[in-house]
Amino acid sequence: MDNQMNQYDNGGGYNNGGQGGPGGNGGNGNQPPRRPNLMMVLLAALSTVLLVFMLWNLLFGGSGNSQEVSYTTFLEYVNADEVEAVEVQSTGQILFTLKKDARNTENAPTAMPTYPFYGNTPVTYSTIIMEDLDTLTARMEEHGIDGSRVLSDNSGRILDILLYVILPVVLMWILLGVVFKKMGGSGGPLGVGKSNAKVYVQKETGVTFKDVAGEDEAKESLVEVVDFLHNPGKYSKIGARLPKGALLVGPPGTGKTLLAKAVAGEAHVPFFSLTGSDFIELYVGVGASR
């Protein structure tokens, strides 16, 4: 009888043989090797593309669609009726675009290179206002310049912050989490000091008290605990309280794990199994494992 219970206790789990149950030690040998996760590969590729895109905009985006010119050059274009639209910002900066047929004088801004991310968008020039705003407005009205057109949407700064600040941080956090997980860490860059204990859950053990032979006294106590779980009112009337747990003590092979599975099977609850060292690490910390 002890040999039979020893087989149940030290095997790969009841009725599972060598499928790697929580009670055994060598049930993982038949599992196929892990294949690379396609989602992780796609995430890494997407993150690389986004980082390259943001790096390109950081290096070339600031001058890819705007060029600073002197206020004198701006007035020359205004007097020559070659300015298409003007926007005066609250910071005192002027943004303007030129007409397509604007002349190219010696003081004219040079043509800006076209980057693939900007397409054929018109080049915007900027300068600093050097005269009274009313005078500038009158000068624009005199030359028929559209001053109501919005050349730059300031509300897009929130989107820029999300794109260039928050998104890279989130992507780097995800990538670091994946790297730490692959390296066997605790699953995140801030996971240092957390427990690495693994908890195995078996929803239906398929084991009942009928499968346990012998151990009559231990079975009687555990049957009462299970009955307490199913009928708590009967015990509450007499002032009984449900115990917080039961400690099964005995040498290896005497059926402790089988009894625990039987309790879980009779109570219809999940069965958790972990080694003693992982249990200490789970509640005490990784210092115990070191």
Model pLDDT for residues 121-130, shown as the tens digit of each residue: 456 777 777 7
Model pLDDT for residues 101-110, shown as the tens digit of each residue: 665 544 444 4
pLDDT of residue 75: 84
- Is residue 73 over pLDDT 80? yes
pLDDT of residue 5: 41
Tokens read off for 51? 């980082």
- Is residue 64 over pLDDT 50? no
pLDDT of residue 290: 53
**DSSP-derived secondary structure for 209-235:** GGG--S-HHHHHHHHHHHHHHH-HHHH
65-152, CATH topology level: 3.30.720
Which residues share a beta bridge with 201?
272
Instruction: Determine the Cα angle at 158 with ends 153 and 163, to 5°.
Output: 110
Average pLDDT, the chain: 67
pLDDT of residue 168: 74
Return the percentage of the chain with pLDDT > 70, whole number. Answer: 52
- Is residue 22 over pLDDT 50? no
Residue in the block written with tokens 């669609």 = 65
Model pLDDT for residues 137-172, shown as the tens digit of each residue: 888 888 887 665 544 444 445 666 666 667 777 777
Q: Is 256 helix (H, G, I), strand (E, B) or coil?
A: helix
Find, among 201, 209, 237, the residue nearest to 225 by Cα: 209
Own/partner contacts of 215-219, CB < 8 Å, gap of 24 or more, are 215/254, 215/255, 215/259, 218/248, 218/259, 219/259, 219/262
Whole-angstrom distance, CA of residue 134 vs CA of residue 139: 9
pLDDT of residue 207: 84
Give the Cβ contact number of residue 189 at 10 Å: 14
Q: Locate the domains of the chain by residue range.
A: 2-28+195-289, 65-152
Quick one: angle between helices 71-79 and 133-142, nearest 10? 30
Residues 6+ apart with CB under 8 A from 176: 188, 189
pLDDT of residue 258: 87
- Is residue 2 over pLDDT 50? no
Q: HSE (CB half, 13 Å, CA atoms) of 106? A: 0
Quick one: angle between helices 216-230 and 256-267, nearest 10? 20
